[in-house]
Chains A and B, each alone.
Chain A
Amino acid sequence: MAHFTKATSVKDWLNQRLAIETVEKVMASEYWIPKNINFLWAMGMVLAITFSLLLVSGIFLLMYYQPDVKDAFYSVNYTIMRDVDYGWLWRHIHGVAASVVFLIIYIHMFTGIYYGSYKKGREMIWVSGMLLFVTFSAEAFSGYMLPWGQMSYWAGMVITNIFSLGGLHLDGLVEWIRGDYVPAQAFLTRFFMLHVLLLPLAIMGLIGLHFAALRIPHVNNQDGEEIDFEAESKKYLAGDTAGSKVIRFANDFMSKDLMVVGFFLIFFFYLVFFQYGFALDPVNFDPADGLKTPAHIYPEWYFLWSYEILRPFSVNIGLVAFGFAQVIFVLLPWLDRSPNAVPASRRGMFKVWFWVLLVDMIVLTAMGKLPPEGIFSTIGLVAALLFIVLWIALPFITKNEKKA
């Protein structure tokens, strides 16, 4: 057993039992971050803040929401929006944050791709990040079911139908997922459970893994420079803070994070109060009606690009393409054959690949929302094919990349 002495202060008492000084060093003041980073490196903190906003607003909404097909719509649109003081505020924060969190996730992802932050020991950061993307997607989808509006119902119908896997006709699987032949009470209750318990638990676990994965390879920097963290941190601690290539996580890095968070929150709250329509779709303010299909069924904007990879093809080919799109990002660290872990701007063909992929995904996103008619379906088909070709070409163009 460890030796305990009479504590001289509260801090000392805690220190003997929890080693708080060591924890503080490991987690904050001697957790070393490269100095050569830009504001894109603060997206992790922005995501943490947005997730906290989702969690807190979700807790308040959970106090009044009724997971019952007869009462769900009313509990959201009457009880929460009208009866409960500031219920509308929590709902708007929750709805807008659910949409904005994906914008930041995409910025975070494309930052990682641009700067090659999935290479040289950082593979697990990328993989855990992609797992977070998948669980966030499931969380967003399950949450979208809860107001039990027209789009909840019909998006639920369309997305669960995907699991029949086209020509395989696995209708039994679809019924098993729904707990019924169509989305109904069993469906709503299980998606409620997933949304408020299982998926948030998975997300929090994965966030822990994501942070842990960062620990050993350290944070990347904007020039892909290999930094001797040992030597540079000694330099910092010796007093040469200006000459050292590293900074403390707290307060050095934190202060910059918080500054970015500050500007982000202005943007975020502007959306919450004055520009929320993009996140709270009008169609979902009609109560669910299984007898009335909406004229246009579309997912939320952040799913549109993968929806558009499914849509332009015949059922079976579309599903294969869709499956491809879902897993291909996870494999990025192995599909990129080049050893260069530097920004895309210094990687020749990869630079072209990056920007074409980004633009292609924006085109897919737009076509995923537009009705699949005339020129839109042609553009959608070409963009979907281009997406697949880009990923197949990636190993070849990176294999021949010159040493940067």
Chain B
Amino acid sequence: MKNKEPLILVVVVAFTLLTYWLVEPYAHSVMHKHVESQNFAYADLKPLTKTGNAAAGKDLVMGAAACTGCHSIEKAGMPSAMDAVSAAASYGVNPPDLSNAGAIYDAKFLADVIVNPAHALKVEHKFDASKGKMHPMAPFAGAGGELEQEVADMVAYLQSIAVKPDQVTPKMAYENACGRCHSVSYEKWTQIGEKPAFKFEKDSLAFDIKVLEYQESLTKYMGKLPPDLSMYIRSRGEHFISTFIENPQAHLEGTAMPRVGVTADAAHKVIEYLEDAGDTKRHERASVGKMVLIFSVVFAIFALLWKKQVWKNLH
């Protein structure tokens, strides 16, 4: 009798794969908008034409541009003027410390955010100066010199004090670029910092109240409380998060979330942070998976040999 098993196997596998393709890759491509990554090139922003002078930039940042009126630069010995909760009450969100801004954020983005925050952050739909809605960050209009040169100087200064780009850690990138709006409870991260282990419940509750107060201001500022991102790596996936960070408007037109202007490297670090939070065991999964597959193949070979031995007398 002809052996029909290979044909049957082909039929079963073909129908299974067809069904899989229809309900997974195909259906999801129809359901979800596909946004292509631009590799964090920020092509809509003007490239820096001037070479910046860090020393001149320092004078501007600390002086005429008044950056330190709102931003701390702890590396340069400039502490924040107020705590996170009061800062959020004043500005809606706690302004970031600028110590490592030069390494985390794209230079073109930094230059643009200094002179036109709402444009660089892509929140002009929310903050329109002509309608009297000013972005809480005041634009820098120049300190008497050539504007482009002054901006280049300030960017150069921020880059000069920051860690080397390859020294940016996942935690550093996440906390600076995302962590002032998004908590990650699985990493104990709140919008005002990592929640310490308190000895007394009273202190723990006092901390929670501060977080709630911060969140109240943030909610008012953003329209709704930005979500906790603990499981986002599993619920949204790397591609979605990465392209969302790059340009939130491309996914969700009109969203209050600003474009944060991170470099491609810093975006990878943010993803890594989220993987550590929501897909903590991925390395273990890969290594255990390899061993289990090797075991399964060996098992299948022995099972095949046993079958052949048993069936030797049956044909």
Contacts and interface: CB of A to CB of B under 8 A. Distances in A.
B304 interface: yes
B292 interface: yes
A3 to B, nearest CB: 38
B58 to A, nearest CB: 44
Contacts of A88: 281, 284-285
B55 interface: no
Given A366-B22, A366-B23, A370-B31, A258 B303 contact: yes
A273 B279 CA distance: 13
Contact of A259 (B1, B9, B303): B303
B303 A82 contact: no
B231 interface: yes
Contact of B186 (A82, A89, A272): A82
B307 A39 contact: no
Interface in B274-289: 278, 280-281, 284-286, 288-289
A266 B293 contact: yes
Contacts of A284: 235
A369 B232 CA distance: 23
Interface stretch (A12-20, A210-218, A248-256, A394-402): A248-256
Interface string B285-315: 1101100110011011111101101110111
Nearest to B18: A362
Contacts of A270: 293
A196 B158 CA distance: 58
Contacts of A280: 234
Most buried by A among B284, B307, B315: B307
B198 interface: no
A282 B302 CA distance: 37
A277 B28 CA distance: 12
A35 interface: yes
Contact of A78 (B9, B186, B285): B186
Contacts of B24: 277-278
Contacts of A241: 313-314
B180 to A, nearest CB: 22
A283 B289 CA distance: 24
Interface residues of B, number: 52
Interface residue tally on A, bucketed by range: 35 or more
Contact of A269 (B231, B280, B289, B310): B289
Contacts of A377: none
B288 A89 contact: yes
A38 interface: yes
A242 B313 contact: yes
A296 interface: yes
B15 interface: yes
A103 interface: yes
A371 B30 contact: yes
A81 B310 contact: no
Contacts of A358: 15
A241 B314 CA distance: 5
Nearest to A77: B231
Given A282-B236, A365-B19, A366-B27, A261 B303 contact: yes
B300 A262 contact: yes
Interface of B: 1, 4-5, 8-9, 12, 15-16, 18-20, 22-24, 26-27, 30-31, 186, 230-232, 234-237, 278, 280-281, 284-286, 288-289, 292-293, 296-297, 299-304, 306-307, 309-311, 313-315
21 contacts: A77-B230, A77-B231, A82-B281, A89-B288, A103-B16, A107-B12, A241-B313, A241-B314, A252-B310, A255-B310, A265-B300, A269-B289, A272-B292, A273-B286, A283-B235, A285-B234, A285-B235, A366-B26, A369-B22, A369-B23, A371-B31
